[in-house]
Chain A
């Protein structure tokens, strides 16, 4: 069963613009992770934010976490065509071991 739900399902922007994707989850978490999937490839780990963190940066990525609202957002600044991919949030299952993924946001960046 899905723990995280991404919003929007699809997003189209121009190069140089910022892209924001949101994730809502249902139960309490230890951490929340974001992954990217390029077409025809496996998922790649982008960033992890712990439940006691509110914001985290990695290069052009900024992730926020609001545990009171059970939501997270991923911001990609100054997007590039190479950022075109699907982005997934993931949280741990009840046993705290295996990641459960949302259905993802498909981002298209046109030049």
Chain B
């Protein structure tokens, strides 16, 4: 397996634009997580899915953020409109409950909003 695949690796956008981040989890993993990492706040859990169903989105900072998982092999995190304070590295991770070997993280998307 190629691991968790995120795209794009880097995204630079202007304030007010829509940004879509993409994630392909590991085949067979039934949990998918979106995290955001900044120097100030560390790793923050944004939302997670179980079997494609959103379970907890309490970490999504504002209504500008939305996430979907239309099928077991694809998820998106959308920010509309984007703001400079959204600049961060966004990670997607997946895991299985049984057997459990921890989370497998993607390489992240570094988002810069100017």
A contacts, CB < 8 Å to B: 2, 33, 35, 40-45, 48, 88, 93, 95, 97-104
Pairwise interchain contact A98-B33, C-beta atoms closer than 8 A: yes
Q: A98-B33, A98-B48 are in contact. Are A45 and B43 (CB under 8 A)?
A: no
Chain A min CB distance to B35 (Å): 8
Compute the total of residue contacts between A and B using a CB distance below 8 Å: 51
Q: Of B62-70, B76-84, B104-112, which stretch is located at the interface? A: B104-112
Tell me the bound Cα distance from A103 to B38 in angstroms.
10
Pairwise interchain contact B106-A95, C-beta atoms closer than 8 A: no
Q: A42-B91, A43-B91, A98-B56 are in contact. Are A88 and B103 (CB under 8 A)?
A: no
Q: Who on chain B is nearest to A46 by CB?
A: B102
B contacts, CB < 8 Å to A: 4, 31, 33, 35, 42-43, 45, 48, 50, 55-56, 91, 93, 100-108
- B43: contacting residue among A41, A93, A101, CB under 8 A: A101
Pairwise interchain contact A88-B102, C-beta atoms closer than 8 A: no
Tell me the bound Cα distance from A102 to B4 in angstroms.
22
Residues on A with C-beta less than 8 A from B50 are: 97
Residues on A with C-beta less than 8 A from B55 are: 95, 97
* 9 A-B interface contacts by CB (under 8 A): A42-B108, A43-B93, A44-B105, A45-B101, A97-B48, A98-B48, A98-B56, A101-B43, A103-B42
